[in-house]
Amino acid sequence: MRRYIIAAAAFAALLVAPHITEAGSIIYSIQNYPADQSGATLSGTITTDGIIGKLATSDILSWSWTITSPGVTAFTLSSSDTSAQAFVDGLVVASQSNITIAASSPTAANSLGFQGAAGAELDYFRFGTSNSYQGFLPTGAVWVTPSPVMGQTNPWVVAVAAQSVPEPSCLALGCLGAACSIAGVLSRKFRARREAVNKAQE
């Protein structure tokens, strides 16, 4: 019976071993603020490396946004497009639930942006009292909104967590725990069966 317990534990370890070196990540949904977007609709996602705290450009693993404007064909830009890039400056903070941009001082800007070729751009900019929210397509500006409402939130909530990927250590513990539980049940059944056989032979 012991070999079955060892085999079950080994199997669980093999299941999680390939994932142990992968960092957890968080997928956020970009927020749509129609009042600040001149009638356009914004959607998309930002995927980070799972950092909690001040966000850096290097923490953004991938991103994609789509602007749909009345009378204009929907346009999508993503991190996989040629010349696409993200930038983070100042106090942009990631938590388990959202990505926010704090109000800034007159001497330091807090901003987040996603740009591509031919002028496609999505920018959130805070510099003292000079706040701006901008959406550009290759055909030109869709919105340039100074002092945006941003859903009446301060700090601005740029994106909200849509899905989180469990840390590898949690996956490993969960699988090993399940394997041990199964092994324990099998062990008890085997012991009960052996005791029944012994009693029958007495």
Q: Among 69-83, 99-113, 183-197, which is the least confidently predicted range?
A: 183-197
Q: Among 55-59, 97-101, 128-132, which is the least confidently predicted range?
A: 128-132
Tens digits of per-residue pLDDT, 122-137?
999 999 889 999 999 9
Q: Average pLDDT in the 61-77 region?
A: 94
pLDDT of residue 198: 56
CA distance 66 to 78: 9
CA distance 123 to 143: 10
3-class DSSP state of 119: helix
pLDDT of residue 71: 83
DSSP string, 24-50: P-EEEEEPP-GGGTTT-EEEEEEEE--
Query: How does DSSP classify residue 57?
Result: G
Say if residues 138 and 118 touch (Cβ distance below 8 Å).
yes
Nearest to 138 by CA among 81, 80, 89: 81
Asked if the model's pLDDT at residue 181 lies above 80, the reply is no
Say if residues 86 and 159 touch (Cβ distance below 8 Å).
no
pLDDT of residue 23: 52
pTM of the predicted model as reported, rounded to 2 decimal places: 0.70
Asked if the model's pLDDT at residue 64 lies above 90, the reply is yes
Q: Average pLDDT in the 71-85 region?
A: 94
3-class DSSP state of 189: helix
Domain boundaries, the chain: 2-20+168-201, 26-161
Residue 116: CA atoms inside 13 Å, Cβ hemisphere, count?
20
Torsion of CA 56, 38, 43, 95, to 10 degrees: 40
CA distance 175 to 5: 14
pLDDT of residue 61: 98
pLDDT of residue 15: 43
